[in-house]
Amino acid sequence: MKFLVLGRGKTGALVAEVAKGRQHDVHSLASQENQDGRALIPATLKEIDAVIDFTTPHAVIANIIRCVEAGVPVVVGTTGWYQHMEKVRELVSERKGVLLYGSNFSVGMNFFFKAIQAIAPVLKHGYRGNIVERHHAHKKDKPSGTAVTIQKLLESGSGEKVEIASVREGETVGMHLVMMDSPTDTILFTHDAKSRVGFAEGAVRAAEWIKGKTGFYEFPEIVDQL
């Protein structure tokens, strides 16, 4: 397949590397080469099977609009844009396009989400939930999209409010701790990413999966199909 990777940051560069390792034809654009999505013209998108976006919350919406309007499938690993979710969903539907997004493309984390969803009802039985997320000092959004996903799973499964604490320091890849505490015991769930390779592999596999499809998908919905 032929992929266009948007963003040459740490994760974007690794996505391109992993895609090449899986025998795909890969092109990349750095943020300065694609201000406001201006580089996403028909000549650039010609024959592209999927665009994979790991840019910034500021840049991602313009990129999504350009790709969807051009009829090119999009995989979005960028977070911090979810307040625009419904408008993006409407655009994808109107254009009969396809977009797959995820707050975290690690396969392990997506099964972690399933575990969190299963345990969420315990919060209705005298437990208090808290989330701590720890990331590198350069991460733009706070809290992380992954932590927000965990929060939504816990709150929708219990009807209880759950707080998020965010830590930004050093070069931490990503750690998420979920604590459910009661007067009698404490339940702890932790996911600690050792590297960004898991994120990159998941995003590339998602781009392989998306070919020939239409619709609006979130990665946890399709992870079992990879």
| pLDDT tens profile 101-146 | 998 999 999 999 999 999 999 999 999 999 999 999 988 789 998 9
Total Cβ atoms within 10 A of residue 62:
16
Closest alpha carbon to 12 in 199, 159, 139: 199
CATH number 3.30.1600.10 is the correct assignment for the domain at 2-105+197-225: no
User: Do 167 and 135 form a contact (C-beta atoms < 8 A)?
Assistant: yes
- pTM assigned to the model: 0.84
- Tell me how far apart the alpha carbons of residues 18 and 144 are, in angstroms, rounded to a whole number: 23
Residues of the chain with CATH 3.30.360.10: 107-192
Q: How confident is the model over 193-214, as a mean pLDDT?
A: 95
CATH superfamily of domain region 107-192: Dihydrodipicolinate Reductase; domain 2 (3.30.360.10)
Percent of the chain beyond pLDDT 90? 94
Task: Give the residue numbers marked as catalytic.
Answer: 135, 139
Closest CA relative to residue 56, chosen from 44, 64, 45? 64
Q: What is the pLDDT at residue 10?
A: 87
In the chain, residues under CATH classification 3.40.50.720 are 2-105+197-225
Q: Is the pLDDT of residue 217 over 90?
A: yes
State residue 21's pLDDT score: 97
> Are 100 and 74 a contacting pair, CB within 8 Å?
yes
Determine the length of the chain: 226
Q: How confident is the model at residue 5 (pLDDT cuts 50, 70, 90)?
A: very high
222 pLDDT more than 90: yes
Question: Can you tell me whether residue 168 is helix, strand or coil?
Answer: strand
| pLDDT reading at 68 higher than 90 | yes
Residue 170: both structure tokens together: 């050093």
Helical ranges in 22-171 per DSSP H: 42-45, 57-69, 85-94, 107-119, 145-158
| Per-residue pLDDT at 58 | 92
Q: How confident is the model at residue 163 (pLDDT cuts 50, 70, 90)?
A: very high
